[in-house]
Amino acid sequence: MAAAGALRLLVPRGRLLPPRRGLRLSAPAAIQVTVRDALNQALDEELERDERVFLLGEEVAQYDGAYKMGFTGIAVGAAMAGLRPVCEFMTFNFSMQAIDQVINSAAKTCYMSAGTIPVPIVFRGPNGASAGVAAQHSQCFAAWYGHCPGLKVVSPWSSEDAKGLLKASIRDDNPVVMLENELLYGVPFEMSEQAQSKDFVVPIGKAKIEREGTHVTLVAHSRPVGHCLEAASILAKEGVECEVINLRTIRPMDIETVEASVAKTNHLVTVEGGWPQFGVGSEICARIMEGPAFNYLDAPAVRVTGADVPMPYAKILEDNCIPQVKDIIFAVKKTLNI
Amino acid sequence: MAALALRALRGRLLRAAPGRAGRGLGTARDFPSLEEKPQFPGASAEFADRLEFIQPNVISGIPVYRVMDRQGHIVSPSEDPQLPKELVLKLYKTMTLLNTMDRILYESQRQGRISFYMTNYGEEGTHVGSAAALDDTDLVFGQYREAGVLMYRGYPLDLFMAQCYGNASDPGRGRQMPVHYGCRERHFVTISSPLATQIPQAVGAAYAIKRADASRAVICYFGEGAASEGDAHAGFNFAATLECPIVFFCRNNGYAISTPTSEQYRGDGIAARGPGYGLMSIRVDGNDVFAVYNATKEARRRAVAENQPFLIEAMTYRIGHHSTSDDSSAYRSVDEVNYWDKQDHPISRLRHYMQGRGWWDEEQEKGWRKSSRKKVMEAFEQAERKPKPNPQHLFSDVYREMPPNLRRQRAALERHLQHYGEHYPMELYEN
C-alpha cells in the first residue's frame, strides 16, 4: 500500500495555481493560464474526483526509463482490472515502441472481448515537432492513431482545450490518445471563469470555431490553429475573412462543423503539422467529398502540411519543414485565386 | 551456479588497499564511510580482487521439483499434498476431457469445419495442477495454451465449441479466432494473440488488485518462447519493483513453433532469470500434477501474503503441433514425440497414482472414455447446428457507446436486409 501511496503523492507534479478561487473578492474574471498549468489542474481535479485514476509513465519519475513497452502494458492491465490509468509518454515518438499495447491491446480489447473487458485508459504526451530535436523526436501521430477504431484521439490547442479535453478523456470509458504539443506547454491562454471550474469538460468529438469568417474555411488541430489565427488577422487586412476551425478531436472527427462552414465559405484549406500522405487533411478532404459540402466548394480543397521528409535538425531547415503562417496565407490565396 | 560462484568469490577476501580518498577530491571527513566495502547505490556486494567471470551453469542447472515419479509413485511422502479423492478425480477428468475435446476440434479443423485450432497435448498437467491451487477469483492471464485452466473452473464444453465455431452462443460474439477464450465470471482474461503482451498487463492488474487490498492473486501463463520478448523483461522487472501479488507460470514445453529451446536461449532456462530480477523462482516437473499443485499453492499463498512476485518454470513437452497451421514432423522426430506420449505423460502418471490408491481401474477408464467422448460429441453436434451471431453485432463494442457513424451504418444494414433479406442466407444467422 505504501507504494500506492507514494505513487499518488508523486502527482501533482509541476506548479499548482495560486489559491485564487478561495479568495475571490471582486467579480469573476478570466485569467491567463499556461497549457502546462491547465493540464496540471485537470490532473489534480480528476485524481481527487476518482480514486481509481492514477498516473504512470515517463514523466512520472519513479517508474520511468526505457520501459515504454513495460509501463504501457502495465497501464493496460491495470485498466483491465478496474483502475483508470493516465499513461504519459515523454513524447509520442517513443510510443512506437509500445504501439502494440496501445493498438492491439488497448484499442481492440473491448471489441475482441465482446464488451466484457473495457479499457478506460488515457495515453498522453507531446506529439509532433518540437524545436531542434530532429527526426526521431518530431513525428506527428495524429494520422497513425486516428486510423484505429476503438481509440479516441484528441489534440488540444489552447489551455481550455488542454484542461477540458484531458478531463473528458479521463472520464471517458474508452482508450483515449491525447496528443499535446511541447511548444505550447509554456504558452499562456485566457481561461474564462467557467473554464477554471472543477467541472469544466470539453466534449470529445466536437470542433470549435475559433474565428468566424466568410471567405474561406481553415481547419487545423494543435499548434497550427494559432498559425491559422495569425494568418487570418494578416489576411483580414487584405479584406479576406477566414473562418478558423479548431478540430480539437481527431477521432471521432466533427466533420459536420467543417461541412457547415464550407457551405458558408465555399473554400477549404486544411493545416496540420504531420506529413501529407494519409494525413488528417486527407481524411477531411475525403469526407468533404463524400458529404453535402462538396456541392458548395468553388475550388478544390488545399492541404498545408509538414514537408514529406524526416525532420532535419538544423534550425533553418526545421523551420521550413513545418507549416508557417506564410504557407497558410499562400494556400488561402491560391484557393481563392487572388 | 551464480549464487555458488559469488560465495566462492566472497571467500577470497581482498587485502585492504589504503584509503585513497585523497587525490585532491576530498578528505576522509567528506565521505561518511571509508570501509573497504563498495558504496555503489546499484549493488550490495563485496570487492573481488581476482578477475573471474561468473559461468552460466547449464550443465547442472536449477533442479526440477517433483512429487511423483514417472510411474505415479510418490517419491517423498512428506511432499504428497494428500489431495482428497474427489479433487484428484476432478484433476484427472479435466485433463482427459480436455484431451478428448482437443482431438475432436483438431479433426474438425482438418475437415474444414473451423478455421484454426491449437491442442494442449502433453501440457494438461500444467493447467489443472496450477488451476487447482488457485482461488476461484484469482485473475488468469493466459497465452493461448491454457484451456485446461478454464475447463477446471467449469467453463462448459458448449462455450469452448461456441467460441471455436463463432456461433450465436459465443460470448465473444464471433470476434476472435478459435481458442481465444475469455470469461469474466471465471476471471479468465480474453486471450490475445500478440505474444507476451499479457505479461506486463498481468502485472498492472496485480498492481490494481494490491491497491484494492483484495486477497487475490494474478497468475500469468506464457511459454518459454514468449519469455524472449521484451514485454517479458519489463513485466518481470516491474512486478518486482512494484511488489505485486503475481505468479508467473512459464510452460517450458521444448518448442516455440519450430524453435527448440537449444536455439531459444543459452542460459539455464527461464527459472534462472528470476533471481536476476529479484523474483522467488522454482523449476518443477510440469507433467507431475502434484508438483505443479504444490509449487503454485505455496507461490500463490506467499505472493498475496508478502506482496511479491513468484516465477514457476514448469518443464513439459508439447506433444502436438504448434497449431493446425504447423506440421512439426518438419523439425522433430516421431520417436521424440512418442517418448513423451508413452513414457512421461501427465495423464498416465496421474492415472497410475489413482490406480495405486485403488481409486481407478480399467472398468472406470473405459466407462469414462465413453461418456466423456459422448459429452464432447454432443456439444460438437450442437455447435455445428447453431446459427451464427446476429449481423448487428458487427457494429457493437468498438467503443463502450456506439458512435453515430456506426449507428447509421447499422440502421442502413437493417433497412437493406428488410428490403432484400430474401437474397441472403438469413436462416444461418441468429435474428
Cα B317 from Cα B247, distance rounded (Å): 21
- Answer whether A251's CB lies under 8 Å from A279's CB: no
Cα A187 from Cα A170, distance rounded (Å): 23
Confidence tier at B32 by pLDDT (50, 70, 90):
low
Question: Is B322 annotated in the active site?
Answer: yes
Query: Which of B140, B197, B216, B401 is best to mutate for the A interface (most A CBs within 10 A)?
Result: B197
Please, what is the Cα angle at A235 between A230 and A239, to 5 degrees?
Answer: 145
Query: Which of B398, B406, B409 is best to mutate for the A interface (most A CBs within 10 A)?
Result: B398
3-class DSSP state of A216: strand
pLDDT at A138 over 60: yes
> Does A103 touch chain B if contact means CB atoms closer than 8 Å?
no
Between these two residues, A94 and B341, which has the higher pLDDT value?
A: B341
B154-181 b/e (C-beta count within 10 Å ≥ 16 → b): ebebbbbbbbbbbbbbbbbbbbbbbbbb
The one-letter amino acid at A330: F
What's the gap in Å between the CA of B223 and the closest CA on chain A? Answer: 18
Chain A residue with minimum CA distance to B233 = A70
B310-315, strands of its sheet edge to edge = B139-141, B218-223, B246-252, B310-315, B280-285
DSSP-assigned letter for residue A314 = S
CB atoms within 10 A of CB B411: 11
Q: What are the two backbone dihedrals, phi and then psi, of residue B149, each rounded to the nearest 5 degrees?
A: -65, -45
> Does A71 touch chain B if contact means CB atoms closer than 8 Å?
yes
pLDDT at B19 over 50: no
Task: Name chain B contacts of A85, Cβ cutoff 8 Å.
Answer: 204
- Answer whether B55's CB lies under 8 Å from B61's CB: no
Show the cell assigned to A186.
509554456
Task: Name chain B contacts of A84, Cβ cutoff 8 Å.
Answer: none
Residue from A106, A58, A52 nearest A84 by CA: A52
> Does A85 touch chain B if contact means CB atoms closer than 8 Å?
yes
State pLDDT tens for residues B367-407. Answer: 999 999 999 999 999 999 999 999 999 999 999 999 999 99
- Which helix (H) or strand (E) is B246 found in, with range? strand B246-252
- How high is the pLDDT of residue A68? 66
Cα A240 from Cα A336, distance rounded (Å): 9
pLDDT at A202 over 60: yes
Residue from A126, A107, A122 nearest A43 by CA: A122
> What are residue B280's DSSP bridge partners?
B310
Show the cell assigned to A245.
476551425
Residue position matching grid coordinates 444461418: B428
State pLDDT tens for residues A94-135. Answer: 888 889 999 999 999 999 999 999 999 999 999 998 888 888
- How high is the pLDDT of residue A23? 52
Question: Is B215 annotated in the active site?
Answer: no
Chain A residue with minimum CA distance to B184 = A116
CB atoms within 10 A of CB B384: 13
A74–B200 C-beta distance less than 8 A:
yes
Question: Is B323 annotated in the active site?
Answer: yes
**What is the residue-wise DSSP string for B22-54?**
-TTS--GGGSS--SSS---TT-------S--PP
Q: What are the two backbone dihedrals, phi and then psi, of residue A256, each rounded to the nearest 5 degrees?
A: -60, -40
Residue position matching grid coordinates 459540402: A293
Cα A203 from Cα A228, distance rounded (Å): 22
Classify residue B310 by burial, with Cβ atoms within 10 Å: 0-12, 13-18, 19+: buried
- How high is the pLDDT of residue B214? 84
Confidence tier at A154 by pLDDT (50, 70, 90):
very high
Residue from A186, A167, A190 nearest A178 by CA: A167
- Answer whether B81's CB lies under 8 Å from B294's CB: yes
Q: Compute CA distances A169 → A116, A156, A180, B346, whole Å.
A: 20, 11, 13, 49
pLDDT at A3 over 50: no
- How high is the pLDDT of residue B153? 98
Cα A131 from Cα B74, distance rounded (Å): 69
Contacts of A101 (CB under 8 A, 6+ apart): A69, A72, A73, A76, B197, B200, B201, B231
pLDDT at B21 over 60: no
> Does A66 touch chain B if contact means CB atoms closer than 8 Å?
no
- Answer whether A59's CB lies under 8 Å from A90's CB: yes
Question: Model's pTM, two decimal places?
Answer: 0.87
3-class DSSP state of B281: strand
Between these two residues, A7 and B103, which has the higher pLDDT value?
A: B103
- Answer whether B284's CB lies under 8 Å from B270's CB: no
- Answer whether B66's CB lies under 8 Å from B291's CB: yes
pLDDT at B422 over 50: yes
- How high is the pLDDT of residue B29? 55
State pLDDT tens for residues B265-283. Answer: 999 999 999 999 999 999 9
Cα A229 from Cα A119, distance rounded (Å): 37
State pLDDT tens for residues B176-188. Answer: 999 999 999 999 9
Chain A residue with minimum CA distance to B182 = A113
Show the cell assigned to A223.
499548434
Cα A232 from Cα A230, distance rounded (Å): 5
B237–A114 C-beta distance less than 8 A:
no
State pLDDT tens for residues B231-277. Answer: 999 999 999 999 999 999 999 999 999 999 999 999 999 999 999 99
Residue from B53, B77, B75 nearest B63 by CA: B75
Residue position matching grid coordinates 472527427: A253
Chain B residue with minimum CA distance to A67 = B234
Alpha helices (H) in A192-308, listed in sequence order? 193-196, 224-236, 255-265, 280-290
pLDDT at A15 over 60: no
Confidence tier at A60 by pLDDT (50, 70, 90):
low
- How high is the pLDDT of residue B30? 60
Over residues A225-244, mean pLDDT:
98
State pLDDT tens for residues A160-170. Answer: 999 999 999 99
pLDDT at A265 over 70: yes
A77-93 b/e (C-beta count within 10 Å ≥ 16 → b): bbbbbebbbbbbbbbbb
pLDDT at B57 over 90: no
Confidence tier at A25 by pLDDT (50, 70, 90):
low
Q: Compute CA distances A47 → A7, A52, A121, B343, whole Å.
A: 12, 8, 14, 58
- How high is the pLDDT of residue A5? 35
Please, what is the Cα angle at B237 between B214 and B139, to 5 degrees?
Answer: 30
Cα B292 from Cα B127, distance rounded (Å): 9
Average pLDDT, chain B: 92
What's the gap in Å between the CA of A241 and the closest CA on chain B? Answer: 32
Residue from A34, A322, A57 nearest A185 by CA: A34
* ipTM metric: 0.82
Over residues A276-301, mean pLDDT:
97
Show the cell assigned to B328.
512439426
Question: Is B187 annotated in the active site?
Answer: no
Residue from B12, B65, B93, B60 nearest B287 by CA: B65
Residue from B139, B103, B133 nearest B319 by CA: B103
Cα B421 from Cα B34, distance rounded (Å): 87
Residue position matching grid coordinates 471489441: A111
B241–A63 C-beta distance less than 8 A:
yes
Show the cell assigned to A328.
497558410
DSSP-assigned letter for residue B58 = -
